[in-house]
Amino acid sequence: MTGETIRSADDFQKYFDVSRETMRRLEEYGQLLQKWTTKINLVSRSSLDVMWHRHFADSAQLWAHRPLNQGSWVDIGSGAGFPGLVMAIMASEVEPDLKFTLIESDQRKCSFLMTVCHQLGLSVEILPIRIEKLHDRRFDIISARALSSLTDLLKMADQLANKDAICLFPKGINFNSELTEARKSWHIEAKAIPSITDQNSIILCIESFSRVN
């Protein structure tokens, strides 16, 4: 099975080989996503028809590229919880000590995230603030999906990253031009990992970055 065939919960379970409990949580998450999207703009309504592919699999593919034995993961601009909340669900059984923080400035989206975490029994920190308002916090893994340009993402990540932190940023067809532009301001060591859900997309795994003097 390839990423192109992840169209249902059964496809997802087979591809990612997750437990029944993880699937139960993801399915309930999906139900809440569909319910809340009729009230607030969480994701495009058309994407709900391909939810397992477009949102769940697209998020879940980051799991295989995380560094092992890390203690904290922050997802910035979490929106409806992709990829951060999917990562928290996948970690809940296999890496229960991995702490998750989701940052989202939209209060309504935070209410959704809090509702999902409460109903699924997840211990996840939800911060309803703008990223620049978060001070004196550092994390081992930083993720963001469809939030901003790479240059701006690195500015945000710079104030959140531990010394050896890595960033996992899903990026689309223009990732090379984003990387070229970002390198005007940042020294970047990164690898581009092909996405399993879109042949024109990648996961940009940034292993180190620092400002150009």
Domain residue spans of the chain = 3-211
Backbone angles phi, psi at 204, to 5 degrees: -90, 110
| Confidence at 5, pLDDT banded by 50, 70, 90 | confident
Across-strand partners of 100? 73
> Whose structure tokens read 């992840």?
6
> Using one digit for the tens of pLDDT, what is the confidence trace for 127-177?
999 988 888 899 999 999 988 999 999 999 999 999 999 999 999 999 999
Q: Residue 189: is it exposed, middle or buried by C-beta count within 10 angstroms (0-12/13-18/19+)?
A: exposed
pLDDT at residue 4 in the model: 59
Tell me the C-alpha distance between 136 and 40, whole Å: 32
Q: What is the CA radius of gyration of the chain?
A: 16
- Looking at CATH, the fold of the domain delimited by 3-211 is given as Rossmann fold (3.40.50)
What's the pTM value of the predicted model, to 2 decimals? 0.94
Backbone angles phi, psi at 52, to 5 degrees: -65, -30
pLDDT at residue 146 in the model: 83
pLDDT for residue 2 is more than 80: no
Question: For residue 50, what are the contacts with CB-CB under 8 A and spacing of at least 6?
Answer: 7
| Confidence at 205, pLDDT banded by 50, 70, 90 | very high
Where is 85: in which H helix or E strand? Answer: helix 84-94
CA nearest neighbour of 29 among 6, 1, 60, 2 = 60
pLDDT at residue 135 in the model: 82
pLDDT at residue 54 in the model: 94
> Using one digit for the tens of pLDDT, what is the confidence trace for 32-83?
999 999 999 999 999 999 999 999 999 999 999 999 888 999 999 999 999 9
What angle, rounded to 10 degrees, do the helices at 84-94 and 20-37 form?
Answer: 160
